[in-house]
Amino acid sequence: MSRWVSIIAAAAFAVAAPAFAQSPKPHSYNIGTQATPEQIAGWDIDVRPDGQGLPPGKGSVRDGEKVYLERCAACHGEFGESAGRWPQLAQGKGSLATHDPVKTVGSYFPYVASFFDYIRRAMPFGDAQSLSNDELYAVTAFILNLNDIVDDKFVLSKETWSQVKMPNEGGFYDDDRKTAEKAFWNPNPCMKDCRPPVKITGHASVIDVTPDDKSIRKGGVE
């Protein structure tokens, strides 16, 4: 290659390289197999608040009570009050602004989808994805009823889905840390005499709930 040709080639590359980097057309590697509708249907279990993804079927509060008592009550309690340390599903209304907020379907969840979708994919614990669609609608209806959101005669389905309004739907807003916590951005934090002399106001050893493992308490100065 003559010197001129190589210089021209280098110049051409210099122009071409950034153009390639900004190319809007993504590179196809021809790797991966097209998913069939049947394959997608088998795995696509998510449900959105607007009802997208809801399966066919329906369930009444009454039918849901039976499913609930058989499959759910051992952990969540007969009335959604919880057994042991498992999540509480009912009550808790008016507690969110107190020292002991109780987050339940009735007090905290903004949408039916938020727990319908969860029950569908993860419950009963240890036997996931075992409920039929009718059982799923029914047990969801029953939990809504436990929280006084629907009456005893309610039947949940794709058609009645949008009738359910959750009490705390308006209880959330988007992350506002960049404005509400603007004071935490400070290019020159204090380095000297930043506060009056400091006192210890709380000790972990007062409540000391640290796991009791002798190997982790190695003592002080030898």
According to CB under 8 A, which residues from 181 to 220 bind another protein?
Answer: 181, 183-187, 189-213, 215-220
Assess 22 for contact with another protein (CB under 8 A): no
Cβ burial, residue 218 (10 Å; 0-12/13-18/19+): exposed
**Cα 57 to the center of its chain, rounded Å:** 25
Q: Closest distance between another protein and the C-beta of residue 1, in Å?
A: 30
**139 to 168, contacts with another protein by CB under 8 A?**
none
What three-state secondary structure class fits 58?
Answer: strand
User: Which residue, 153 or 218, has its beta carbon nearer to another protein?
Assistant: 218
**Contact assessment for residue 100 and residue 24, using Cβ atoms and an 8 Å cutoff:** no
Q: Closest distance between another protein and the C-beta of residue 204, in Å?
A: 4
Dig out the tokens for 15 from the structure: 């122009």
Kindly tell me which residue out of 2, 27, 56, 153 binds another protein, with binding defined by CB under 8 A.
Answer: 27
Kindly tell me which residue out of 20, 38, 176, 179 binds another protein, with binding defined by CB under 8 A.
Answer: 176
User: Which residue, 2 or 205, has its beta carbon nearer to another protein?
Assistant: 205
Q: Closest distance between another protein and the C-beta of residue 136, in Å?
A: 13
Binding mask 65-84 for another protein (x = CB under 8 A): ----------x--------x
Residues 6+ apart with CB under 8 A from 155: 58, 59, 60, 61, 137, 141
CA–CA separation, 155 vs 57, rounded Å?
10
Please identify, among the stretches 32-40, 55-63, 65-73, 143-151, the one whose residues bind another protein according to the rule CB under 8 A: 32-40
* 213 residue type, one letter: D
Q: How far apart are the first and last CA of the chain?
A: 75
**Contact assessment for residue 112 and residue 118, using Cβ atoms and an 8 Å cutoff:** no
User: Which residue, 3 or 177, has its beta carbon nearer to another protein?
Assistant: 177
Among 113, 91, 116, residue whose Cα is nearest residue 103: 91
Dig out the tokens for 141 from the structure: 């209806």
Kindly tell me which residue out of 7, 9, 66, 171 binds another protein, with binding defined by CB under 8 A.
Answer: 171
Helix (H) or strand (E) holding 156: strand 155-157
Kindly tell me which residue out of 43, 56, 151, 153 binds another protein, with binding defined by CB under 8 A.
Answer: 43
Kindly tell me which residue out of 109, 137, 154, 161 binds another protein, with binding defined by CB under 8 A.
Answer: 109
DSSP at 129: T
The site for another protein, by CB under 8 A, has a size of 91
Kindly tell me which residue out of 6, 11, 44, 70 binds another protein, with binding defined by CB under 8 A.
Answer: 44
